[in-house]
């Protein structure tokens, strides 16, 4: 594969599908958005199916990673461009969306997490893609339909992004985790209707590794309490969603954090936790989220006070 041909082509497409200033607008009856995405899907599938077969060269970034991160950027921009009605693909049995998501996930899974975290442009494209995938396409044949070990690998990569120094990436990871936790709460914890196949898959993953959500909640609280995060508002969103999933999970974490603090501080800090849930109801409505975010700001200030 000749990178001198594929790289400019992918870069052109990444600019072409970027809906900057809403320049890509079609009539509601127009099929142009769907037709455009079909071409995007063909490009991503053709490139991805070939790049995955290539052996790693001496310069793996130039031979593989560069094309992969540009491909992820193309797909992310197309998925959130607001000019494609994605429900049409499943309705008419069109594989364009499913195939594009499938090959893009295979490309991401071909890269060790250590390399994703090392190469800045690759990291930015990977986490941007994951945010779009979890926020907008979590129920489609994608991440929830993977085997549990692969699903856990992806979610663990989001936790690693939370802990990184890049605030933008941390915010994207928080958003993706919030979407995942909110989906679990709305469809499994508090769901009235029979769970969908996607919800059943998620329940199966969490059932096989019940420590996954508690570990992420622990990481989020550690960032809020012990670090000077500049994206506290974003981090508060997944914290509430995870707390809503299981009160017991929150109680266990609370006890764990308190036990790690000096004995003479534990009573005061316990009161901080009590105030954290003041006037917070068991829902993820916007007003409830905002109230929790305000409480979390007070919690952090009081917890860190000497």
Q: What's the CA angle centered on 101, arms 239 and 243, to 5 degrees?
A: 10
User: In whole angstroms, what is the distance from residue 204 CA to residue 208 CA?
Assistant: 6
CB 162 within 8 A of CB 219: yes
Q: Residue 225 is encoded by which pair of tokens?
A: 């309490």
Ranges of the chain with pLDDT below 70: 28, 140-141, 306
Q: What is the pLDDT of residue 298?
A: 94
Task: Give residue for tokens 């593989």.
Answer: 64
Q: What is the pLDDT of residue 28?
A: 66
Q: Residue 280 is encoded by which pair of tokens?
A: 């917070």
User: In whole angstroms, what is the distance from residue 132 CA to residue 234 CA?
Assistant: 15
Q: What is the pLDDT of residue 82?
A: 85
Q: What is the pLDDT of residue 306?
A: 63
CB 233 within 8 A of CB 293: yes
User: In whole angstroms, what is the distance from residue 129 CA to residue 185 CA?
Assistant: 23
Q: What's the CA angle centered on 25, arms 23 and 31, to 5 degrees?
A: 140
């Amino acid at each position: 594969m000749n990178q001198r041909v594929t790289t400019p082509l992918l870069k052109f497409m990444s600019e072409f599908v970027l809906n900057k200033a809403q320049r890509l607008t079609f009539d509601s009856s127009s099929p142009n958005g769907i037709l455009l995405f079909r071409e995007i899907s063909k490009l991503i599938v053709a490139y991805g199916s070939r790049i995955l077969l290539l052996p790693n060269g001496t310069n793996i970034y130039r031979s593989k990673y560069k094309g992969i991160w540009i491909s992820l950027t193309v797909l992310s921009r197309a998925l959130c461009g607001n000019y494609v009605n994605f429900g049409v693909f499943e309705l008419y049995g069109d594989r364009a969306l499913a195939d594009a998501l499938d090959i893009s996930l295979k490309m991401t899974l071909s890269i060790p997490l250590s390399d994703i975290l090392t190469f800045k442009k690759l990291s930015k494209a990977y986490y941007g893609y994951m945010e779009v995938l979890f926020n907008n396409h979590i129920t489609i044949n994608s991440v929830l339909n993977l085997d549990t070990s692969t699903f856990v690998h992806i979610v663990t990569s989001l936790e690693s992004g939370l802990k990184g120094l890049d605030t933008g990436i941390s915010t994207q990871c928080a958003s993706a985790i919030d979407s995942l936790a909110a989906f679990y709460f709305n469809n499994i914890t508090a769901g009235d209707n029979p769970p969908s196949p996607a919800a059943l898959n998620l329940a199966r993953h969490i059932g096989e590794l019940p420590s996954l959500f508690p570990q992420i909640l622990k990481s989020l609280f550690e960032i809020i309490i012990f670090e000077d995060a500049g994206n506290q508002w974003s981090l508060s969103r997944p914290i509430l969603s995870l707390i809503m999933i299981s009160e017991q999970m929150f109680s266990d974490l609370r006890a764990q954090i308190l036990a790690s603090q000096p004995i003479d501080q534990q009573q005061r800090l316990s009161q901080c936790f009590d105030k954290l849930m003041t006037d917070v109801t068991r829902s993820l409505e916007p007003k409830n989220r905002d109230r929790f975010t305000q409480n979390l700001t007070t919690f952090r200030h009081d917890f860190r006070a000497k």
